[in-house]
Chains A and B, each alone.
Chain A
């Protein structure tokens, strides 16, 4: 019998309230204050903080949606920030009085966040100013150092819901580069040079006269053009040369090699013409080409600057941990942790190093490492490996090995993690470009030889050679992949899919096998199917159960509390409450005794405590067992459609799970006939499976949830991490997708494929330009003016085409699928 039948119907109507602060539906419990409803104490606290400082205008901003503060926060969490060696690395500037920090606040998400964070001075007068950089989700705070300690500032931010992200990367003193500004300087200078060289070349376009003053002007223009183009060659275009050179050293031609060659040729020929006074040179085309290509690359990089992928495994670890010295608690940076240290790990905290348990009992959740969702019980004296999360009361541990030697680090140092997917030279554009540049060089050389040796006409030979190289300048080709991929990246990220770079898109397009992980990937992380079996309970009894489970932070308790959303929790104080980790809890409700927990705990007779994936939670009132809740994890509702769409596209689907073989009957039909569903897979086995598929010549897309299948993610051609919090991803993946967007996967693949088609089409367009131009150029009929005009025109056509075509493809593949899913 299900719970909904048990619930009185009138209770359902008025319980769907949205929290005034965070806007989430109040699921567990409703708190009232000032005629507003709040879903939790955290939201209420933020509200009262804002109200005290008269910042309630925050709620009036359109789209305002507060953040519930982290419940795991406790006083003293940031105390380590006040230690001098940590303090100095966390701040940007200090004069001993005014101090500036530039912190990353991942929870920043809307315009009202900007407003709130820039009014920090109202919450604490010691804050002088705070300026938000929204795209980077960073805030620069200037404050009076003596009046406000760094730890207090971090605590203030956490209290209003914006927990700063302070990682060990900051500790090791790594500063973000100023690449962004350098690029802008280069673009600015190239643009300046391009414009002015064009202006000074104008008389040349319209054929200057041959008298003395015209000749003097011609010389002056030539010198000025040369002077203007020098910074373009040595500063703006330097990256092309560096990249081409490093590729040549690695014995392959990358996309920059033909560009560097063409630029060099054009520049040298211009100098030759200027020196011998045989012509004005093509410095306008030279500067223009550099300018356009720099703009194209800036556009491309900007689109994926939003997701920074350069974090390493250390980002997952907390930066400091509580250490007990003779019973006195102190915060210590993890890097300083030594063998024999006694650390205190609180509820929901990650165990940062291999350690021996000193407390009586611990419940360790290894879902981070193994994918197993059930916490494991550990007793005093057991060794606990790094990477687990403590669930429940705080535990004491003695460190066995320092952080750098522990298990997780070893896992990450595995070959598959460190091996880069070195295929930059295999990308489509690079492949076409390599042949293209060889062909162009060949044509140019043959043309030159023909005019020079056969026709004995050196002047036309040089003209034809340069116009050939100019007209066939590969920048239109470069732009076609740069702009298509750049535009696709932004389309993808608008649809909550974040590929690492352009190469990931090209690999995604080749995918012909998709391997799914189960836990957290195709199951919903925070939702489960819950049924109640047993005697019907009265409404009062339901209130009792809800109130009792509300006391616990156990995942099963939380799921039951969520399931009983229609039942109000009582404010009544429970007496005689006790919770035994891994067993259950008990409390007095007036004269009645309520027990919720395992079969043993409540005294029920059970021969199948948990059948497969489902777990059972028993309820006993006054020592009489009333029944049990069956909790089974729920699959994402769009899963069947996603899988069938993938199979229709000719892609094979597989399932790998670290869990026990449950729901095989349910899942097997979804994965198609003869589908391979493997259970009880260890991380190495997952990696081997992916490798096996690759040996069969398949291009594997692995969909996983992060660390526990990190090896497989890295081994696969495209590792896709499913995350409901995009700031919480695995560095080994090639792309991240938000959990509820996973259903769009077939659309993403289709879009990536059409992206490759668009690149090929635009290659074809620019080839037509080139062939037309070349056919005139080799005959020596093309004037450099036309060649110089044709080049930017072809670039602009290509940019327009790729942008329009990829936007149209995005509408076709992503919108259509969204509609299909919405309808069903």
Chain B
């Protein structure tokens, strides 16, 4: 049964990692604008350098 303790701690750490990733992405402004990037990717860069 002692394996269970390790597994629980591991699963919590993984979940914390994802929470950290989410907070990091919010802090970096990934959620500030949820519309423009979806349009930007469809706009071509001009051919001329």
Given A54-B48, A135-B36, CB of A181 within 8 Å of CB of B26: yes
Q: Within the assembled complex, what's the spacing in Å between the Cα atoms of A37 and B38?
A: 32
The answer to whether A134 and B11 touch (CB under 8 A), given A54-B46, A111-B43, A188-B19, is no
A135 touching B33 by the CB < 8 A rule? yes
Nearest B-chain residue to A136, judged by Cβ = B33
Count A-B pairs with CB separation below 8 Å: 64
Q: Which of B19, B31, B44 contacts A180 (CB 8 A)?
A: B31
Q: When A114-B36, A134-B35, A224-B8 are in contact, do A57 and B46 touch as well, CB less than 8 Å? A: yes
CB–CB A213/B31 < 8 A: no
Shortest CB–CB separation between residue A393 and chain B, in angstroms? Answer: 43
Specify which of A114, A136, A220 is in contact with B40 (CB 8 Å cutoff): A114
Nearest CB in chain A: distance from B19 CB, A: 4
Identify which of B15, B33, B36, B44 contacts A192 (C-beta below 8 A): B15
Across the interface, name the chain A residue whose C-beta is closest to B27.
A181
Q: B5 to A224, Cβ gap below 8 A?
A: no
A439 CB-CB contact with B under 8 Å: no
- 12-49 of chain B: CB within 8 A of chain A: 12, 15-16, 18-19, 22-23, 26-27, 31-36, 39-40, 42-44, 46, 48
Q: Are A133 and B23 in contact (CB under 8 A)?
A: no
Point out the residue from A132, A180, A220 that lies within 8 Å of B36, measured CB to CB: A132
One of B4, B18, B27 near A217 (C-beta < 8 A): B4
Contacts of B8 in A (CB 8 A): 200, 220, 224
**Cβ B43 vs Cβ A192 within 8 A:** no
Encoded as 1 (CB less than 8 Å from any B CB) or 0, chain A from 21 to 62 comes to: 000000000000000000000000000000000110100010
Enumerate chain A residues within 8 angstroms of B46, measured Cβ to Cβ.
Answer: 54-55, 57, 119, 122
Which residues on A sit within 8 Å (CB–CB) of B27?
Answer: 181
B21 to chain A, nearest CB (A): 10
Contact indicator B4/A224 (Cβ below 8 Å): no
**Contact residues in A for B42 (Cβ distance below 8 Å):** 111
Residue of A134, A180, A185, A220 ringed by the most chain B CB atoms within 10 A: A134
Query: Given contacts A114-B40, A188-B22, is CB(A217)–CB(B1) below 8 Å?
Result: yes
Residues of chain B within 8 A of A11, CB atoms compared: none
In the assembly, what is the distance between CA of A199 and CA of B15, in Å? 11
Question: How far apart are the CA atoms of A118 and B43 in the complex, in Å?
Answer: 11
Q: How far is the CB of A191 from chain B (nearest CB, A)?
A: 9
In the complex, the answer to whether A135 meets B34 with C-beta atoms within 8 Å is: yes
Q: Which residues of A contact B12 (CB under 8 A)?
A: 196, 224
0/1 per residue, A131-147, Cβ < 8 Å to B? Answer: 01111100000000000
Q: A55-B46, A111-B43 are in contact. Are A185 and B36 (CB under 8 A)?
A: no
Complex interface: chain B residues within 8 A of A220 (CB): 5, 8
**CB pair B15 A195 closer than 8 Å:** yes
Would A188 and B26 count as touching, CB distance under 8 A?
yes
- Cα distance A118–B19 in the bound complex, in angstroms: 32
Task: Tell me whether A189 is interfacial, beta carbon within 8 Å.
Answer: yes
A179-236 contacts to B, CB under 8 A, are 180-181, 184-185, 188-189, 192, 195-196, 199-200, 213, 217, 220, 224
B43 CB → nearest A CB, Å: 5
Note all chain A residues with C-beta closer than 8 A to B19.
188-189, 192
Residues on the A chain within 8 Å of B5, using CB: 220
A200 and B7 alpha carbons, distance in the complex (Å): 12
Contact (Cβ within 8 A) B44 A57: yes
- Considering only CB atoms and an 8 Å cut-off, how many residues of chain B contact the other chain? 27
Q: Which of A99-145 contact B (CB under 8 A)?
A: 111, 114-115, 118-119, 122, 132-136
Is there contact, CB below 8 Å, between B39 and A111? yes
Are A196 and B15 touching (Cβ within 8 A)?
yes
The answer to whether B31 touches A181, judged by C-beta atoms less than 8 angstroms apart, is: yes
Distance to closest chain B CB from A66 (angstroms): 16
A195 CB contacts on chain B under 8 angstroms = 15
CA distance A595 to B1 in the complex (A): 103
Q: Cβ of A192: which chain B residues have Cβ within 8 Å of it? A: 15-16, 18-19, 22
Q: How far is the CA of A817 from the CA of B19 in the complex (A)?
A: 48
Given contacts A114-B39, A114-B43, A217-B1, contact A184 B31 (CB under 8 A): yes
Complex CA gap A61/B45 in Å reads 12
A217's nearest neighbour on chain B, judged by CB, is: B4
Q: What's the Cα separation between A135 and B32 when bound, in Å? A: 9
Name B18's closest neighbour in chain A (CB-CB): A192
The CA-CA distance from A192 to B26 in the complex, in Å, is: 15
- Give complex CA distance A180, B22 in Å: 14
Within 8 A of B (CB), among A347-379: none
Give A180 to B1 CA distance when docked, in angstroms: 44
B43 & A115 in contact (Cβ 8 Å cutoff): yes
Residues of A within 8 A of B34 (CB): 135
A199 vs B40: C-alpha distance when bound (angstroms): 39
Nearest CB of A to B18, in Å: 8
Complex CA–CA separation, A135 to B37 (angstroms): 11
- A135 CA / B12 CA spacing, docked (Å): 36
B1 to A213, Cβ gap below 8 A?
yes
Name B36's closest neighbour in chain A (CB-CB): A134
Taking a contact as CB atoms closer than 8 A, the residue among B4, B11, B43, B48 that contacts A199 in the complex is B11
Tell me the bound Cα distance from A98 to B22 in angstroms.
30
The distance in angstroms between the C-alpha atoms of A119 and B47, with both chains bound, is: 13
State in angstroms the CA–CA spacing of A184 and B16 once bound together: 16
CB distance from A599 to the nearest CB of B (A): 56
A133 with B36: in contact, given A189-B19, A217-B1 (CB under 8 Å)? yes
| A658: min CB distance to chain B, Å | 41
| Closest Cβ–Cβ distance, residue A62 to chain B (whole Å) | 10
- The listed residue with most A CB atoms (<10 A of its CB), out of B5, B15, B18, is B15
CB atoms of B23 and A185 under 8 A apart: yes
Say yes or no: B36 contacts A184, CB within 8 Å.
Answer: no
The proximity string for A residues 55-91 relative to B, scoring 1 for CB distances below 8 Å and 0 otherwise, is 1010001000000000000000000000000000000
Question: Which residues of A312-367 have CB atoms within 8 Å of chain B's CB atoms?
Answer: none
Residues in A whose Cβ lies below 8 Å from that of B16: 192
Q: Using CB atoms, name the residue of chain B closest to A56.
A: B46
> B18, B19, B34: which has the most chain A beta carbons within 10 Å?
B19
Query: Are A185 and B26 closer than 8 Å at their CB atoms?
Result: yes
Query: Does B26 contact A184, Cβ atoms closer than 8 Å?
Result: yes
Return A399 CB to nearest CB of chain B, in Å. Answer: 42
Chain B residue numbers with a CB within 8 Å of A134 are 33, 35-36, 39
**Whole-angstrom distance between the Cβ of B34 and the nearest chain A Cβ:** 7
Q: List 14 A-B contacts (CB under 8 A).
A: A54-B46, A54-B48, A118-B40, A119-B46, A133-B33, A133-B36, A181-B26, A181-B31, A188-B19, A189-B19, A192-B18, A195-B15, A196-B12, A224-B12
What residues of chain A have their CB less than 8 Å away from a CB belonging to chain B? 54-55, 57, 61, 111, 114-115, 118-119, 122, 132-136, 180-181, 184-185, 188-189, 192, 195-196, 199-200, 213, 217, 220, 224
20 A-B pairs besides A111-B39, A188-B23 with CB distance below 8 A are: A57-B44, A111-B43, A114-B36, A118-B43, A119-B46, A132-B36, A133-B33, A134-B33, A134-B39, A135-B36, A181-B26, A181-B27, A192-B16, A192-B19, A192-B22, A195-B15, A196-B12, A220-B8, A224-B8, A224-B12
Q: Which 9 pairs of residues, A with B, have the shortest CB-CB distance?
A: A134-B36, A133-B33, A192-B19, A111-B39, A115-B43, A188-B22, A184-B26, A213-B1, A135-B35
